[in-house]
Structure 1
Amino acid sequence: MSTLTEDAARFAKFSGLEADTITFNGGQPLNGRVLVRGAKNFVTKAMVAALLGDSPSVLRNVPDISDVRIVAGLLGVHGVTISHNVETGEVHLDPTKVKSAHMAEINAHAGSSRIPILFCGPLLHQLGEAFIPDLGGCRIGDRPIDFHLSALRSFGAVVDKLPEGIHLTAPNGLLGAKITLDYPSVGATEQVLLTAVRAQGLTELSNAAIEPEIMDLINVLQKMGAIISVDADRVIRIEGVPNLHGYDHKSIFDRNEAASWAAAALATQGDIFVEGARQPEMLTFLNVFRKAGGKFEIHDDGIRFFHPGESLSPVVIETDVHPGFMTDWQQPLVVALTQATGVSIVHETVYEQRFGFTEALVKMGATIELHRECLGGQKCRFGQQNFVHSAVISGPSKLTGADIEVPDLRGGFSHLIAALMAKGHSRVSNVGIIARGYENFLAKLRTLGAEFEVEN
């Protein structure tokens, strides 16, 4: 598996960053307008879904981020012809000449990405075999692939573990299955959907994830000819069909990026209009943002987020699966909560190791205590397991510049927010990781008035 520094440099290269360390001059509010395009957590999965079709697909509103480029590379080594118009955000995918790829090619393009695991179902349908290299991803907790392999076995796949990775075959084809998730995992739900749509017979998935990105993936699959129903009790039923065709689809906006810019406006006492953001998918975030004292205005083409001009209020947050408060929202918001008057509590119930980013905030002057106990209204699966998964933030705290290192995608953007609000200069390294999910983030920061220098 690649190291953190190697990952950051690789993502920086994918995104055209000149260097991987940036010095920020903080203390200035961010003001202006930014465009948020398609969701990272959807577009990469929709690109994989194109493998299932027997004709070309068109995906619109796609951001130019490193995760998209990585998936494009993986599709390319499997014979898919791809063109990406960065200006319009339109991607064309032609899977009509799909082929097997060598493990070395997959490894070269995958790096630390976990996306190859989702190639398995489509490739088993198209080619009868698939390869998976060692998987990485952000270091925010345990993300085992055991369920993915178990689910694929339920469909009839044969799994062989090799020194260089995993080889899967489907000698008798794939058959529908009845599957129940212990936890409504997004990745597990995606795996079942991408495998079940062309498996023979009926698949029933209980305790499924129902995030907006999942629903948009279902929209894409239905456009391709799939038969999928979603019940109110988190049960998804898929009737397998023998063939699917291409799709033409506009991606849902990236609500994680939208929330990050909202938190940046609040933390820096700024005013940011997030073009492309929509109220329905942001409902839970908007409620918490308002309770913290943030102001917002809903418009047809986006949402304006701005600081109220007075003291912020502490809040109590518990992350949860949709429709709860997203785990990806808490990290940037924690930075803003360091400026609230009083004590805020954040109980993380999705990933057990997501508070590593707070070490840098404490170094900059924030008052944050981490706890192993469930400091929320309900116990969670991490309780009594010795995981540090609750945070107590006392404020307001004056942050000052420091040398900090980006730990992961969302934590990394949170570090940028901290560097921008802190007095003085902050030297932030490993910023390339942020390019995994934030399109043109340095250009957007410049537009908003951020002051920084990129190391040569």
Structure 2
Amino acid sequence: MTTDVLVVHGGSPLRGQIRVRGAKNLVSKAMVAALLGDSPSRLYDVPAIRDVEIVRGLLELHGVRVSDGEEHGELVFDPANVERANVDEINVHAGSSRIPILFCGPLLHKLGHAFIPDLGGCNIGGRPIDFHLQALREMGAVVDKTPSGLDITAPNGLQGTKFELPYPSVGATEQVLLAAVRAHGVTELRNAAVEPEIMDLIAILQKMGAIINVHTDRVIEIEGVDRLRGYTHRPIPDRIEAASWAAAALATGGDVYVQGARQAEMMTFLNLYTKVGGAFDIDDSPTGGIRFWHPGGELKAVLLETDVHPGFMTDWQQPMVVALTQARGLSIVHETVYERRLGYTDALNQMGATIQTYRECLGGTPCRFGRRNFTHSAVIAGPSKLLAHDVVIPDLRAGFSHLIAALAAEGTSRVYGVELIRRGYEDFEAKLAALGASVEKG
């Protein structure tokens, strides 16, 4: 059991204002994209989270000079002296992040070689890199598996190809984009992911000189170019963090203004938020955001089915389920993206929630898991009175959900493993304090 503990005195509504910075799921990929340029890149609104530290370390190992800019959260990347990194030093990062796999394309273009350590990340179900490797092989890469990781070369450079993803994987789509922008010829990617973070990465690559066409029906066409320049970019805000604080406001009966949150990337979430009984108000000014609050009265049970964009984001599911424990009636959750994402509900049940998980598909959204013996659906009976309980965080998003539950519960909980939350939530303890939460380090 980890010693990184947060003591949470729950039962009080969260009230106040916090700010979200650039999206975790975009910023780290934008940092990798800087490797492709032949001049420096500048990225604003970078959150101070563990994933950013990991990618910064990997870039510096490969000779990229990373420096802090004048503005808080600004990073500058100078790729003038990219070099092969020491395998042992790279392996220091093995198991700490899944981002290293996205270094393949840029390093193959720059050096003709890439070494990728064993990958980690949250244990929420199968996220195989098979799609990544198959796409690279189709483009001419040679992948050799070694005891410590993957050794990848491209003897004749990367070539444009036609490739269809079996599933619209965000990571594999990013892999193809980062590899194809400087490949010889045209790459056509079918069944691509089209999440807002993907579109923002495409915007960055276009600023660098890439030629990328996004067609209908999840088709992306990339015309390879000989060189790319650096970029200057301010990323989209983190819609996952914004939704997490919105769910916390609802679960605790609070009122939270999330500066930086934007309606465009959160429309599907806002629809469900309204159906449950939450209220929000959008401020479209340049320094605006979204105010989320519990308007009083009973929350209503809903059907929640996750899906790839533009569906309800899988990362929104866990925080929202905590709020659904306070809704009257039977809410149904059908997780279609990650097969093991409902394991966190055991801790909620220990706190007084009534959640039953099922192997069957409890919803109409097409799903890969219905006949594969995974508990990927849930029924939540509410409202339930949550009581304090000690919990151990298993992964990033489950961790924030456990934290929300502890904040909503009566009594004092000890939350173990909060370092996992720091992977994706900047300075969350200070934000909790700003919202009036009674928390302290254990």
TM range (shorter): over 0.9
Q: 2:198 aligns with which of 204, 210, 214?
A: 214
Structure 2 residue 375 is the aligned partner of structure 1 residue 391: no
Structure 2 match to 1:452: 439
Cα root mean square deviation, aligned = 1.1
Q: 1:224 aligns with which of 208, 217, 223?
A: 208
Listed one character per residue, the Cα deviations across residues 412-435 of structure 1 (whole Å, up to 9, x for unaligned) are 000000000000010100000000
Q: 2:140 aligns with which of 132, 143, 156?
A: 156
% identical aligned pairs: 68
Structure 1 match to 2:122: 138
Q: How far apart are residue 228 of structure 1 and its match?
A: 0.1
Q: How far apart are residue 110 of structure 1 and its match?
A: 4.5
Listed one character per residue, the Cα deviations across residues 304-350 of structure 1 (whole Å, up to 9, x for unaligned) are 00001110000101100000000000100000000001010010000
Q: How far apart are residue 87 of structure 1 and its match?
A: 6.3
Q: How far apart are residue 379 of structure 1 and its match?
A: 3.9
Q: How far apart are residue 378 of structure 1 and its match?
A: 3.2
Structure 1 match to 2:184: 200
Structure 2 match to 1:75: 59
Secondary structure in 2 matching 1:341? strand
Q: 2:171 aligns with which of 177, 184, 187?
A: 187
For the 8 Å contact 2:94–2:118, the answer to whether it is kept is no
Structure 2 residue 363 is the aligned partner of structure 1 residue 363: no
Residues of 2 paired with 1:437 and 1:248: CA distance?
23
Residues of 2 paired with 1:419 and 1:220: CA distance?
39
Q: How far apart are residue 84 of structure 1 and its match?
A: 3.0
Corresponding letter in the other structure for 1:198 = R
Secondary structure in 1 matching 2:58? helix
Q: 1:374 aligns with which of 361, 383, 397?
A: 361
Q: How far apart are residue 92 of structure 1 and its match?
A: 0.3
Q: How far apart are residue 112 of structure 1 and its match?
A: 2.2
Q: How many residues align?
A: 439
Structure 1 match to 2:326: 339
Q: 1:313 aligns with which of 285, 297, 300?
A: 300
Secondary structure in 2 matching 1:192? helix
Residues of 2 paired with 1:30 and 1:87: CA distance?
29
Residues of 2 paired with 1:378 and 1:331: CA distance?
18
Secondary structure in 2 matching 1:136? coil
In structure 1, the gaps of 5 or more residues are: 10-18
Residues of 2 paired with 1:91 and 1:365: CA distance?
44
For the 8 Å contact 1:138–1:408, the answer to whether it is kept is yes
Runs of 4+, deviation exceeding 6 Å: none
Secondary structure in 1 matching 2:128? coil
Residues of 2 paired with 1:87 and 1:423: CA distance?
41
Q: 2:240 aligns with which of 249, 256, 267?
A: 256
Residues of 2 paired with 1:86 and 1:69: CA distance?
18
Q: 1:115 aligns with which of 83, 99, 113?
A: 99
Structure 1 match to 2:112: 128
Corresponding letter in the other structure for 1:335 = V
Residues of 1 paired with 2:161 and 2:18: CA distance?
44
The two structures have a TM-score, normalised by structure 2, of 0.98
In structure 2, the gaps of 5 or more residues are: none
Residues of 1 paired with 2:404 and 2:148: CA distance?
39
Secondary structure in 2 matching 1:237? strand
Secondary structure in 2 matching 1:281? helix
Structure 2 residue 46 is the aligned partner of structure 1 residue 62: yes
Residues of 2 paired with 1:156 and 1:435: CA distance?
38
The two structures have a TM-score, normalised by structure 1, of 0.95
For the 8 Å contact 1:27–1:420, the answer to whether it is kept is yes
Residues of 1 paired with 2:70 and 2:321: CA distance?
32
Residues of 2 paired with 1:110 and 1:281: CA distance?
32
